[in-house]
Structure 1
Amino acid sequence: MGCNDVNKVDLNVPFSSKREAEIAYGTLSVDKEPKRGGVKRVVSVDDRFLKVHFEAEEVRSLRVSINSFMDYLLLVIQTIEKFGPQS
């Protein structure tokens, strides 16, 4: 890959409802990517889907960012399953 190539990954995470997707968005969009990591992350909600777009020049940085995000996402999903979405 050339020095200006950007690696991209898009995730579309389905939830049972739009409310659950909004809860995940509200929780996960607060944490911004560190500038030194060189990863750009954009989080949005489309109906009951949490959409996440990652971009980075270095594949390693992209992988680390996605792994970290997935850990947080799993925790959010487990919390929603245990306590249910707030009304």
Structure 2
Amino acid sequence: MTALVAAAAPAFPVARGRPVSRPPHVPGPGGDAASKIPRLESRIHVFALCVPFPSGLEAEIAYGSLAPDAKPHGGAVEKQLTVSGSVMAVRWRAKDPRLLRISIMTFLDQLSLVMQTMRRFGPPVSR
């Protein structure tokens, strides 16, 4: 008799005659499915930026001002600067998206200062 009652139980719980939906399964700290889902912190995040300049000389000047800070955040963020013609390219790689964002924002602040300074002094004179 008990087997018949268990077999006749509804697939979803019933409250006051209406079915109650169950929340979707979300893996949590129990670890049942956590190892199958990659965590954001374990992925490598990459951001690339190309900055065009009026001339190759100006791109080289900006590179010279910005390149010394090539190891931001103690090496937790990789930053690579290159110049090709009149374009300076910057590429970041980091596991921590927060540190990546901080590095990018700091670089953009420094780039803005370099560009303002270059604008105030006018176009560079070739030697």
Structure 1 residues 31-86: Cα deviation after superposition (integer angstroms, max 9, x where no partner): 23245361000001011101000000011010000000000000000011010224
Pairwise CA RMSD of aligned residues?
A: 1.6
Please tell me whether the aligned partners of residues 25 and 50 of structure 1 are also in contact (alpha carbons under 8 angstroms).
yes
Greater RCO, 1 or 2 (C-alpha within 8 Å, sep 6+): 1
Normalised by the size of structure 1, how large is the TM-score? 0.90
How far has the Cα of 1:4 moved from its partner? 3.7
1:40 to 78, 83, 86: 78
Normalised by the size of structure 2, how large is the TM-score? 0.63
Structure having the higher strand fraction is: 1
Number of aligned residue pairs: give it. 87
Please tell me whether the aligned partners of residues 39 and 61 of structure 1 are also in contact (alpha carbons under 8 angstroms).
yes
How far has the Cα of 1:18 moved from its partner? 0.6
Q: What pairs up with 1:1-87 in 2 under 5 angstroms?
A: 1-2=38-39, 3-36=41-74, 38-84=76-122, 85-87=124-126
Q: Which ranges of structure 2 fall in alignment gaps of 5 or more residues?
A: 1-37
How far has the Cα of 1:7 moved from its partner? 0.2
How far has the Cα of 1:26 moved from its partner? 0.7
